[in-house]
Amino acid sequence: MAVLAVSNARRVRDWLMWLLTYRHALRISETLNLTRADVEGGHIIARRLKGSETTIQPLLEHPDPLLNERIAVPLFVRNLTEKQKLFTIKPRRAEYAFAGYAAAVGIPAHKRHPHVLKHTCLTELVPKIGVPAAQCWAGHKSGASTLMYTRMDPAMVAEAVRTALTSGI
């Protein structure tokens, strides 16, 4: 959320780029391929790469304006032609920009890349909506691709085991 706040304060384009990447579990290259035609009727057509399936997802509302893409995205694209890309920035430049925003908010160096947004989305979704629904949202053809987001942090595992083995003793 901090990256969204900092980028929104500096450049709306960057904020929307990160917001769509995060909320729709996109790779940065998929985000950068979005055209005006992919944003229609309150939905986004996510044309996935690496063998994943294209998904049509609603632009999501949220009470926090920082997360409300349903209002921001149509405003952002309103003057674009149908074939015009939403974000005219090269992948390397986008990666560099993200790294700068991530550094500004104290994200560890090994997580200062846009793909962390997709990982964050799916890591948050899997426990809340389950693997099959998260798989569908991400456009994964195989559930195995989604299962990687069920991996637990070793510290979380240790705490869960400790709780399980000490309750009722």
Q: What pLDDT score was predicted for residue 55?
A: 94
- Whose CA is closest to 138, among 59, 46, 61, 40? 46
Looking at domain 2-166, does it have CATH number 3.20.20.70?
A: no
Low-confidence stretches of the chain (pLDDT beneath 70): 168-169
Written as six digits, the tokens of 22 are 């995060």
- Whose CA is closest to 44, among 34, 52, 53, 33? 34
Instruction: Domain ranges for the chain, please list them.
Output: 2-166
- Pairing relation of β-strands 39-40 and 55-58? unpaired
| SS3 of 8-22 | HHHCHHHHHHHHHHH
pLDDT tens figures, 52-98:
899 999 999 999 999 999 999 999 999 999 999 999 999 999 999 99
Q: What pLDDT score was predicted for residue 168?
A: 66
Q: What pLDDT score was predicted for residue 28?
A: 96
pTM of the model: 0.87
